[in-house]
Amino acid sequence: MIFCFLGRKLDIPDVPDSILKTTGKEVTGVKKVKALDSRTLEKEAIFWGNLKRQLKENPVKICRK
Amino acid sequence: MPQMKQLKELEELEAAGPAAKYDFFVQWHLTERCNLRCRHCYQADRKETPAGVDLSLKEIGRVIAEISDTLGSWAKNYQMDFSPSFNITGGEPLLRADLFDIISEARAQGFDVFVLTNGTIINRQRARALVNAGVRAVQVSVEGPEEVHDSIRGRGSFSQAMWGVKNLLGAGLTVTLNSTLSSLNAGRMPEMVSLALGMGVQRLGFSRLVPYGRGSGLIREMLPAGQVKKLYETLLSLEIDGLEIVTGDPVASQMSIKNHPDAGCTAAGGCAAGISGFTILADGAITPCRRLPLPLGNIRTDSIRQVWATSTVLGALRDKSRYGGRCGTCRRWATCRGCRAIAYAYSMSRGEADFLSEDPQCFIEQDEETETAKFLPSLK
Ligand code: SF4
Ligand code: SF4
């Protein structure tokens, strides 16, 4: 028997494992582009370069949603 | 010459040495299936994901490896030191039969794993399985005392969630109760503090309502900026032994800083969208944030590294000159930017759909009675 913190009885039926039935399915035949061109690398370097400089100057607090 | 510029960037970085650990996280919605139908859910009210659309365990393994490789490349090329993590959620993530395998795989690849759940199907055995898989902490959504919670999340869901919380705590996990703040529950937050203390959870967290998806009908329940301010001032000033009050809200992070100096034009804190992580939806769609439904690509076909560097949406999120309203001229922009998801949903409700518009609930350095009224007539 389970009680909540107020001492009231919680009437919870246990949940059977059969509820955990969702799984995904592989999608085949899709191609993933992996090679990065110089323009992409340049943009990447600018992003991380700027960010790193900013991090040195300001401590950050990020929203983890 | 792009290569020259790039070389210069790299040289500068090398000279700068390693940065402090940088929190980079991926919010992963493993399925859209859910056993509840909450009124404020930011997921659209569509039928459960058709079979075959959710990523398979094998695909998920490949994505984890790709993210790990990407972070490894960034760390090596730019001398970044990452603290990488996954927020695993759904729908209801516990509905995935292979959840524990997925978590174990992420842990094996060096990621911290946090689980966000409605708590309602976590029995003792599943709580223990989460511990064994290596979960760091669990966040359970609780909207207020029982009648408030049940009116939002459905009858009986409060008792079930509390049962789940008890099982999680019993298994030794760190638990956060998180409430989505709106006029439906704002007045009941002191009772949430009592609830959190009574249950013995370690943290109590808050997010603001994003009136999107099923929650778009709740636009009128958004709190006026002045009320958000008062609520945050009360909640965040609480000092309670053993209970940490937390929020990632960028606006809240600005409250303690008076006379903010100009933080410049490089986004590095506050809203995580485009800066320190991204979201993967059940079908592989990539978005900047779970609450900001702008598609950047699909994890099945697009490279994370490519998307991160070249997405025009991410580029706009990082560009102060593109922002509108107060956020566009704010000297706190680099460390805040407001909540882009709220700005987007709110602007959409006014027929504008502008994810770079000002955060309509910002209360920083504005006179609530005059400025708020000027900007937000419909929130008064
Ligand atoms: S105006 Fe925008 S960037 Fe400035 S404090 Fe408010 S929400 Fe943050
Ligand atoms: S859009 Fe809002 S919820 Fe998403 S990371 Fe930014 S501040 Fe957080």
Query: With an 8 Å Cβ cutoff, are B96 and A20 in contact?
Result: yes
Mean pLDDT value of segment B225-250: 94
CA distance A60 to chain B (A): 5
Predicted confidence band at B17 (pLDDT cuts at 50, 70, 90)?
Answer: low
- A2-3 vs A9-10, strand pairing mode: antiparallel
Query: With an 8 Å Cβ cutoff, are A36 and B309 in contact?
Result: yes
Mean pLDDT value of segment A43-54: 92
Distance of CA B274 from the midpoint of ligand 2 (Å)? 10
Listed in sequence order, the residues at least 6 apart from B55 whose beta carbon sits closer than 8 Å to its beta carbon are A24, B30, B63, B280, B282, B283, B284, B299, B300
Nearest CA in chain A to B283: A24
Mean pLDDT value of segment B262-281: 92
B337: left (phi over 0), alpha (psi -120 to 50) or beta: left
Beta-strand runs (E) in chain B:
22-29, 82-89, 112-117, 137-141, 174-181, 203-208, 244-246, 277-280, 285-287, 297-298
Distance of CA A63 from the midpoint of ligand 2 (Å)? 6
C-alpha B56/C-alpha B62 separation (Å) is 10
Q: Which of B266, B271, B358, B367 to mutate to test the pocket of ligand 1 (most atoms within 8 A of CB)?
A: B358
C-alpha B279/C-alpha A41 separation (Å) is 22
Predicted confidence band at B367 (pLDDT cuts at 50, 70, 90)?
Answer: very low
Q: Is A6's pLDDT higher than 60?
A: no
Q: What is the pLDDT of residue A59?
A: 64
Mean pLDDT value of segment B349-374: 73
Residues 19-38 of A with CB under 8 A from B: 19-27, 30-34, 36, 38
Predicted confidence band at B41 (pLDDT cuts at 50, 70, 90)?
Answer: low
Mean pLDDT value of segment B358-373: 65
Comparison of pLDDT for B199 and B156, the residue scoring more: B199
CA distance A1 to chain B (A): 11
Q: Which numbered atom of ligand 1 lies nearest the CA of B331?
A: 4
Q: Is B140's pLDDT higher than 80?
A: yes
Comparison of pLDDT for A27 and A41, the residue scoring more: A41
Mean pLDDT value of segment B318-329: 96
CB-based contacts of A26-29 (< 8 A; 24+ apart in sequence): A26/B56, A26/B58, A26/B59, A27/B52, A27/B59, A27/B284, A27/B300
The answer to which of B86-95, B129-138, B151-160 has the lowest mean pLDDT is B151-160
Residue A5: Cβ within 10 Å count: 15
Q: Which numbered atom of ligand 1 lies nearest the CA of B260?
A: 5
Question: Is A1 in CB contact (< 8 Å) with chain B?
Answer: no
Predicted confidence band at B216 (pLDDT cuts at 50, 70, 90)?
Answer: confident
Beta-strand runs (E) in chain A:
2-3, 9-10
CA distance B123 to chain A (A): 7
Amino acid in the structure at residue B324:
G
Instruction: Please list every residue in chain B whose beta carbon sits closer than 8 Å to the beta carbon of residue A34.
Output: 303
Residue B108: Cβ within 10 Å count: 12
Mean pLDDT value of segment B344-372: 80
C-alpha B180/C-alpha B158 separation (Å) is 15
Nearest residue (by CA) to ligand 1, atom 2, is: B327
Q: Supply B92's token pair.
A: 């209801």
Mean pLDDT value of segment A18-26: 74
Judge residue B11's burial from the number of C-beta atoms within 10 Å of its C-beta, 0-12 exposed, 13-18 middle, 19 or more buried. exposed
Q: What is the pLDDT of residue A60?
A: 67
Predicted confidence band at B53 (pLDDT cuts at 50, 70, 90)?
Answer: confident
Q: How far is the CA of B293 from the CAs of B132, B216, B279, B353, in angstroms?
A: 33, 13, 10, 11
Instruction: Transcribe B316-364 into DSSP letters.
Output: HHT-GGG--HHHHH-TTGGG----HHHHHHHHHHTT---TTS--TT--T
Q: Supply A16's token pair.
A: 């059977």
Predicted confidence band at A33 (pLDDT cuts at 50, 70, 90)?
Answer: low
Tell me, using a 6 A CB cutoff, whether residue B273 lines ligand 2. yes
Mean pLDDT value of segment B25-49: 70
Predicted confidence band at B258 (pLDDT cuts at 50, 70, 90)?
Answer: confident
Q: How far is the CA of B132 from the CAs of B2, B107, B126, B136, B354, in angstroms?
A: 48, 11, 10, 11, 44
Predicted confidence band at A64 (pLDDT cuts at 50, 70, 90)?
Answer: confident
Mean pLDDT value of segment B22-49: 72
Predicted confidence band at B152 (pLDDT cuts at 50, 70, 90)?
Answer: confident
Instruction: Determine what percent of chain B is predicted with pLDDT higher than 90.
Output: 74
Comparison of pLDDT for B212 and B176, the residue scoring more: B176
Q: Is B290's pLDDT higher than 70?
A: yes
Q: Name the one residue in this structure whose structure tokens are 């959409």.
A: B348
Q: Name the one residue in this structure whose structure tokens are 């000279």.
A: B15
Q: What is the pLDDT of residue B51?
A: 45
Identify which of B23-37, B258-272, B298-312 has the greatest average pLDDT: B298-312
